[in-house]
A and B are shown apart, each in its own frame.
Chain A
Amino acid sequence: MSLVRWIRRNLVVLVGLLTLAYLIIPNIIVMVFSFNKPAGRFNYSWQEFSTDAWKDPCGVADMCDSLSLSLWIALWATIGATVLGTMIAFALVRYRFRARGAINSLIFLPMAMPEVVMAASLLTLFLNLGAELGPTTILIAHTMFCLSFVVVAVKARVLSMDPRLEEAAKDLYAGPVQTFLRVTLPIAAPGIAAGAMLSFALSFDDFIITNFNSGNTVTFPMFVWGSAQRGTPVQINVIGTAMFAIAVVVVVTAQVITNRRKKTALPK
């Protein structure tokens, strides 16, 4: 019986690790193939080891332009969505007012809708208004769909805040501005940061909404999409690997900071 149980138990571990492999293998393939020297236009089969692409990451026409455009859009969309979303989250948690249900639905719906529907409907709006498709329309779209995610992240944090802290600040003669800047904002900061990071990642990596609303503008995902037809330069894998490395550094740094904070935090 114990043997059967042991197998059962380790079956979960085994299947779990297989799933993990399924999740991670494509990333490893991307990394490995950033050191490939492809024979043709497509970088799908292994030929020989080379570091050419790493020495010349911007050696492909237009790729780095698309990359900087994507970063620029992600930055502004993040700022916009974070400011607007944080304000909404505070209003929803702290105040009682009419139309809460409607507002909650309006925030929930963009997350519960296939991206292609949002993309297509936004395009009909822009076409009807005669707006010129380009970086501005992409930015508008990204800000729109990142907003909901920020609201959710900040709301979760603000809900778990202890209102007595702010009351204490007020009792100690802090004005509303001071209370907000010295007490409320620092406590809500992790939620806001999480929402902002999520926004940045979502915007930077967005394809479907951008595909519909970009006109002739090429963001980095659009560049990759186009390259699937024209030929995939190794530099794409270099960028993918570099992104991965940067993200790992960010995660590790965040972890180190939280650990330090825990150690130096005042005992509750």
Chain B
Amino acid sequence: MTTQLTHAAAPVKTSGRGSGRARGGQAADVGRPGFAWAVPATIFFVLFAILPLLAVAVLSFMSWGGIGDPEWVGLDNWSRVFDDPVMIKSIWLTLLLTVLGVVLQTPLSILIGVWAAGTQRNRAVISAVYFVPLLLSSTAVSVLWRALLDPNFGIPSEATWLFGDGNLFGEQSTAIGVLAFVSTWQFTPLHSLIYQGAARAIPQVLYQAAQIDGAGRVRQFFHITLPQLRNSIITSMILMVVGGLTTFETVLILTQGGPGTDTTISAYYMYQKAFKSFDFGAGAVIALLLVVAATIISLIVVRLSGYDKMRSTMEGVS
């Protein structure tokens, strides 16, 4: 008893350098930095996120074409955007692409990530190659796939049995399919990387115990690996959802929202309204809707998963 107590108190006394910690004075503060650490980030966040966001909020009540002074129009932009069939369509398309992204990428990245967490040398080499798409910018990726999927000179011209006339960007279903595929190709490596790190952090003792109990590989995966990856799954899903809501470059380069408005997702529609039609008021409304939607969805994911309790799986710290 006595030894344990002194042991717990000791770090507080000896490491009195950080006065914040001394003031907190609780063992739970061990290893947790004070607010000062977050100041630079907070300042940047206020300057480059909060202030512009407020400006956009004000702009959403104004009519502005990029020249002249903005004119106050009240709720006009809002009612216009909500009456706009293209806007409603764009919300559905955005949700569809986001869901497709999560559904396609999550299982793939868990499998690849867990596989790549092994220690054999060939895995390291193959995973390194596999992570290459992550290094390319979205723009480069989109240009690349646009060229590869050209109906006359790309893959479709060689594989007509699969692609028919190759009119992938000319029809809604195939255009969405291509967008989902390209995002998956591009972002699965990132999520695999998250899962790889998390899988490596799972204590080996768990597997050793399972082996002793006679559990096979599949059972080990479902009963140890997956539950242990829970927090990573949530992190990765939030990234996917927010990424899905703000998908932009792929649409800009691959389909330009077309054919017609068939792949005009909200983020692209915002750009189109503000910077192509010079209707900054409507653009601001869509931007705010996206911010709200992304925040709500992230909160729901966090709540449902119990992630907000911030439970740590680190041993000894709770």
Instruction: Say if A and B assemble together.
Output: no
On A, residues with C-beta under 8 Å from B are none
